[in-house]
Amino acid sequence: MEIKSLIVFIGICIFLILEFLFPKEKIYFKNKISRISKNIFFWLVNIGITPIIILPISIFATQFELHSLFKFNNSIMNFLFHLIIIDLFLYWWHRFNHQIPFLWKFHHVHHLDETLDISSGVRFHFGEVILSALIRSIIIITFNISLINLLLIEAIILLSSIFHHSNISIPKKIENILSKIIVTPSIHWVHHHKRQSETDANYSTIFSWWDKIFGSRSNFERKIGMPIGVEGDTEQTLKKLIFRPLKR
């Protein structure tokens, strides 16, 4: 757990510095402090529920041995296999969050952010986080994913989310190369376009190839100043965001 926290802390510091020094676009916030406070609130709540809800679920799942399949003697191969399996799960989980109305009630909160930066990468309703942990436990049990691998993969997932939500300017040639393997800001910003057709595309989390494989990659290219958010909806107060999933 300490290693995971250290990796995440160092990664966040690096991305914060890069976003401050090399922003892709200049964003003029109406209520910058209020917006970031809302995003950080959800992050802190999710940090708070991790030791009492998320971690116990994960520990139980990693210790529950249903069979002896999917175990490799090579630790690196084992880790890479687990990483790919979890990332594939995240692709479908994310896609289902958009396609199933009940799940969208929670994920909607993430998409109501009307601009993107590093803080957007940690803005997830705690209900969505708990549901994700419960469903993910099935994948953990099925593929015998170890706790150490899971914690390292969680660190990669969090840093990936922070990175592709960020407003960091990356030279086009470098981003074009990176985007063939991993999800970059230009790919994920399109997913947050206010137009519904773009919102319902680009679901990948770490590796970018899932959208190409499953036909959900958008052909739209990120443009400076394009509208971010949810079509037909607007950002809400913190109180409304918390109770948003209960809204009919």
Query: What are the tens digits of pLDDT across the range 33-53?
Result: 888 999 999 999 999 999 999
The predicted pLDDT at position 62 comes to: 96
Whether the per-residue pLDDT at 1 is higher than 70: the answer is no
Q: What percent of the chain has pLDDT over 70?
A: 98
For the chain, the average pLDDT equals 94
How far is it, in rounded angstroms, from Cα 204 to Cα 217?
Answer: 9
Q: What is the mean pLDDT of residues 126-148?
A: 97
pTM above 0.85, yes or no: yes
- The tokens of 126 are what? 């705690």
Q: What is the mean pLDDT of residues 202-216?
A: 98
The predicted pLDDT at position 247 comes to: 81
Q: How confident is the model at residue 100 (pLDDT cuts 50, 70, 90)?
A: very high
Q: How confident is the model at residue 30 (pLDDT cuts 50, 70, 90)?
A: low
